[in-house]
Structure 1
Amino acid sequence: MSEVEERITRIKQHKGVKGLLIVGDDGNIIRNTLGSGSDKESKSYAHHVSEIAKKAKSVIRDINPLDDLTFFRIKAKRQEILVAPDKSYFLIVIQNIDEDNDAINRS
């Protein structure tokens, strides 16, 4: 198994991880582990998150041209989206939020 496959497997084993996407700069999906039957959902994540990531990278560059965006996350009520942008692709991890742990974290 390649190093990339090992890392993908390790990420998928984290608690609550629904799946991950590797998306090219053009918004096309390179790798999808969300499972079968979720093609429309995967394309939606790929399109919207890659657009947000491009805008976020631009904002960071506008603030300080020497900085670059390395990671960000978007947290909603039920899911969290973790994004690690690179020069030519985005790693997007979709994680379901554990309500029990989330309640503990808020206290």
Structure 2
Amino acid sequence: MSHRKPLIRRTFLQERYEILIKRQRDGKATFNELTELDDIVNRDPTIREIVLIENYFMPGNDDNTDQTNPVKEIIKPALQTSFFDRLKDFFGRLFILPVAQAKALIV
């Protein structure tokens, strides 16, 4: 009996994603290939999930140069705020939109 590797079932998009990621990491990817890679990630939910897990939940990620944990930044505990703090936040959000629109009209 021969000892073969078990077959891994992949779709065309998964296979193409692997090829384009290798070219991107080597610095050989063209603009069209990067555009295709972006389209694949946005179109396929399984690949998008893989990318999100790699970027945010894997330790030792090269993209994060700082030592903060992005998971802690994403998931923050709910803080108990007083009634007046919530009221102040409400009015701040209420009046920020008209001010931003007025600034856009002036510029």
TM-score range, shorter chain: under 0.3
Structure with higher helix content: 2
Structure with higher strand content: 1
What TM-score do you get using the length of structure 1 for normalisation? 0.26
- Structure 1 or 2, whichever has the larger Rg, is 2
Higher relative contact order structure (alpha carbons within 8 Å, sequence separation ≥ 6): 1
What TM-score do you get using the length of structure 2 for normalisation? 0.26
